[in-house]
Structure 1
């Protein structure tokens, strides 16, 4: 049986392909556990220098699997379950920023909501010609709370605020302008190759030291993390938000085949 993350080795590169096609690569606990296990594998192998996270040609990741999270009833998400999920997701993002391995994201399709958190926490990210990006949470009455400390650190406060409230759909060039990715368009694969070749010349201990130093300069504090977890947990447990999410899913515009529009 195929898992939610497929692994392949390419020399010094470990590729993690998100593989939940039936759920448009939405995030669930099993996916986060699989990413965490893959990082364990990479960090135990000195021959691996880089971990590359990717999706498929249509979808990179559409964020939290809200259909599974809300369950089959008509009420909101259980607050304790919401908190556990938020902490698990945050821990993976935090691990990206602390791993002595280079973490990169290659986005070829849709990247929405929590999928942007993976990009924001990565060391490098590229957007291929078919990529699109949207922080869509506000459109359903939520906020991208858990990923926000990482996004602010990547693109700055004002851009993160605009992407949250306006929820614009960004193409590759716009994502590059926003600072969300490091290269975009047809040149993205070659740009990623050069980024990774350059970083692989840096000793692993120096990579880890650089991450620790920059984290000290622009820290994501325990207080920030608790604020993020508390905010998204309370919102997911809100009946009004749950009703709106279910309505959008019934229309097929949330984690479905059609793009969300404001």
Structure 2
């Protein structure tokens, strides 16, 4: 029996590591194997002084569709301790993006929803190619984007993050740029990212780390905020009513994988 496909693929290009999310059958949904693989990729990058940047990408159809709810809720509502443990692992990865001495960037070419937006929000830079689209869809199924929200507020500001949560609009590349979610958009996005990364290579790695620590101190995400976020999503995922609604939506084929015409 062959080994399962890894949840990420890693390619080295000189001083750059490209990490491609690779769970296409699950629409690049986040599970514990993906979190572990992304953590291992960062371990590898941070152990190599010759490497300066890590770019996270998906495929042309989907960047990341968020938490793999089908797997997480396969047996019904999660127990709150298990839900909180998973949320804390995800939050720890986002936190690591903001503290890594490497430049972390996201290149989004397809659909980016829910927890996928957390990757974008926590990255140092993000760009949206012409086919990219973004949405916080959690509220539509009775959840909240609680764990990623401290990072999104730092990136876009409170009002934009609040609107994205309650109205759950789809944002195209230019809308994402106007919202401050990404740093470049459209046909020139990949080239803009290349120039950003080249510019950062002129800065010593220790200065990158110092800059991240300094800016983190200006807009801190405290342990109290982290605990509040983890506890909030933990209680929601443990709610049997929320689990039942999610199962109903998945049975109707209007949750993960539905795309822009699906969950409304």
Alignment TM-score, normalising by the size of structure 1 = 0.98
Match of 1:231 in 2: 232
Farther-moved stretch of structure 1 (244-253 vs 146-155):
244-253
**Corresponding residue to 1:28 among 28, 31, 34:** 31
- TM-superposed deviation, 1:81: 1.4
Matched, 1:58 2:61: yes
User: Using the alignment, how far apart are the partners of 1:64 and 1:178 within structure 2?
Assistant: 23
- TM-superposed deviation, 1:261: 3.9
Unmatched tracts of structure 1, length 5 or more: none
The alignment covers a number of residue pairs equal to 260
Matched, 1:128 2:132: no
After superposition, the C-alpha distances for 1:141-186 in whole angstroms (9 at most, x for unaligned) are 0000000000000000111000000000000000000000000010
Matched, 1:39 2:42: yes
Match of 2:108 in 1: 107
Runs of 4+ in 1 over 3 A off after TM superposition: none
User: Using the alignment, how far apart are the partners of 1:102 and 1:111 within structure 2?
Assistant: 21
Match of 1:4 in 2: 7
Would you say the 8 A contact 2:255–2:263 is kept in 1? no
Alignment TM-score, normalising by the size of structure 2 = 0.97
Would you say the 8 A contact 2:111–2:259 is kept in 1? no
Match of 1:189 in 2: 190
1:139-178 to 2 correspondence within 5 Å?
139-178=140-179
